[in-house]
Structure 1
């Protein structure tokens, strides 16, 4: 007759783990993990080829299994087989996510290739220079230009709002634009008089 060690006697059988798991006993999750985590990790690693992804999938399988333990019936099947089914779903989810990430990366790279960076940089420089030069203008010219270009008011609306003659508003806008064009030409080196 073979002597049973105390460690073997303390280790629950797969059927005992399954029954305790279905009943929601907290120690059964640990027992299930000890019993089947290596198998689940190996399946995930073979399918995904990435250790970090396989570790994530293994963790997700046990979290999903514990949360969905009410759906497991130990009389209908083995816990190991049920966990394997969950593993297949989590692997498929991870492969789908990888595919989506790859498509997004390719789309971003294509978009970056299509849009030259210098165009964005030139526009940014122009905006900064214009905002800086507007801040340096004295009133009422600064206010008139802001109302015209940031608030989209017409010349008559500006004249009415500021209680100024329409001709004065038009003069300030023209002189302000000439000033801004000159400053922009100095900063960028472009000939904006074209």
Structure 2
């Protein structure tokens, strides 16, 4: 599994040998938890080295995809660092807290898959269901899905993140590696193109 999460370079590491005793592991965990609570950046590297195999295994078993499991693993440690103020050692140890974040992100990934599956199913069956009750809604779904597909990247990816994944502009900018202003410009222009496309589609023949 590739380690794709961005971690501080040259930071000291907390390493655990195979022959480490239980009390050594407990002491190492206590040091790591304290460093994380203090907001020390080097703690993220140690957390990743210590717990990423567990996070990856949970994600892989649930999602059945190495690529998705790697993405989830990256998201978990980014989310943990950003949300470190919510970590309360009195409520749960660090490992249990990370497992909770993992479960939430895995659930979000399943929900995204379901949304994408419904959109794909609507695109495949829309032409047949035009004669059925509710056909107008199906046609709208097909038209919108095709219009988004025609945008091309990065606009297509950004619009999907904004409306299907319900990410904020800041989160999208982080995901695609573009400046926030550029992401906003892509969304604004894409919405204009979609509006024009849909208005043309609605013109009676």
Q: Please, what TM-score do these two structures have when normalized by structure 2?
A: 0.49
Residue 48 of structure 1 is aligned with which of 47, 63, 75? 63
User: SS state of the match for residue 13, structure 1?
Assistant: helix
Higher share in helix: 1
Spell out structure 1 runs of 4+ moving beyond 6 A: none
Q: Which runs of 5+ in 2 are unaligned?
A: 1-14, 131-205
- 1:7 shift after superposition: 7.5
Q: Which runs of 5+ in 1 are unaligned?
A: 1-5, 116-194
Structure-2 change in CA distance of 1:53 and 1:7 (3 Å)? closer
Contact 1:17 1:31 in 2 (8 A): yes
- What CA deviation, in whole Å up to 9, does each residue of 1:98-152 have, x standing for no partner? 000000000011124567xxxxxxxxxxxxxxxxxxxxxxxxxxxxxxxxxxxxx
- Please give the residue correspondences for 1:73-112 in structure 2 after superposition, counting only pairs within 5 Å: 73-112=88-127
Contact 1:15 1:74 in 2 (8 A): no
**Count of residue correspondences:** 110
- 1:76 shift after superposition: 3.2
- Please give the residue correspondences for 1:35-74 in structure 2 after superposition, counting only pairs within 5 Å: 35-74=50-89
- 1:74 shift after superposition: 2.5
- Please give the residue correspondences for 1:120-159 in structure 2 after superposition, counting only pairs within 5 Å: none
CA-based RMSD: 2.5
Residue 34 of structure 2 is aligned with which of 19, 37, 52? 19
- 1:75 shift after superposition: 3.6
Residue 28 of structure 1 is aligned with which of 40, 43, 62? 43
- 1:18 shift after superposition: 1.1
Structure-2 change in CA distance of 1:107 and 1:22 (3 Å)? same
